[in-house]
Amino acid sequence: MKLISSNGWPASKDREAIGVKSFQVPGTTLKLQCAEACAPLLIGFTAEFHKLIEPVDEGKLDDWGYAFRDIRGMTGKLSNHSSGTAIDLNAPKHPLGKVGTFPNEKVPMIRALAKKYGLIWGGDYRNRKDEMHFEIALPPAKVAALIAKLEKQNEGI
């Protein structure tokens, strides 16, 4: 049976089967494990989050990527961490279910960055908020197109 996480990306207990690798976040000492196909988005986002929102490599290791597991509290529904398409940043500062963990004035920038990189922010979940959490919101073909577009923009700078 082919496993799929809630955003439609292939999930597996075998990280190699879905191309999960470790990636260094530029400008930080942090490495995140995520699917290679969407790594430029998750890693590019994290680098900008580090610069514009809050540092991601201070204190203990509290930033997470790939992990094969259900959505917390929802047995049988695979979390997007299971496909290496979701990350949690500064988890203890932004605990699951808590709202307002970021300063109000930073929230528009968080949303703008998430949009730029094709992500959904867990702080915008309709039900239980998850402010540490960011996940790929696009299918693989659209992710590839967005990566190509962002690369072009970067070349233009």
* Closest separation in Å from C-beta 91 to Zn ion: 8
Task: Write each residue from 79 to 98 as x if it is in contact with Zn ion (CB under 5 A), else as -, in one continuous string.
Answer: ---------x----------
Q: Which residues of 58-93 are buried (b: 16+ CB within 10 A; e: fewer)?
A: eeeebbbbbebeebeeeeeebbbbbbbbbbbbbbee
CB of 95 to Zn ion, least distance (A): 11
Using the contact rule CB under 5 A, the part of the chain among 2-10, 19-27, 70-78, 129-137 near Zn ion is 129-137
Triad 83, 28, 145: Cα angle to 5°: 45
- The two three-digit tokens of residue 76, written as one number: 């049988």
Q: Does residue 129 belong to the site contacting Zn ion (CB under 5 A)?
A: no
DSSP one-letter code for 27: T
User: What's the rounded Cα separation, in Å, for the pair 34 and 75?
Assistant: 22
Query: What CA–CA distance (Å, rounded) separates 20 from 11?
Result: 10
Number of residues that bind Zn ion (CB under 5 A): 2
Specify the residue, 48 or 88, whose C-beta has the smaller distance to Zn ion: 88
For Zn ion, give the closer residue by CB, 133 or 155.
Answer: 133
Could you tell me the strand order of the sheet in which 133-136 lies?
86-88, 133-136, 119-121
Residue 130 CB, shortest distance to Zn ion, in Å, is 6
Closer residue to Zn ion (CB): 34 or 37: 34
> How far apart (Å, rounded) are the C-alpha atoms in residues 5 and 8?
5
- The footprint of Zn ion on residues 32-61 (CB under 5 A) is none
Considering only 9, 84, 133, 147, the residue that binds Zn ion (CB under 5 A) is: 133
Compute the least distance from the CB of residue 32 to Zn ion, in Å: 12
- Positions touching Zn ion (CB under 5 A) are 88, 133
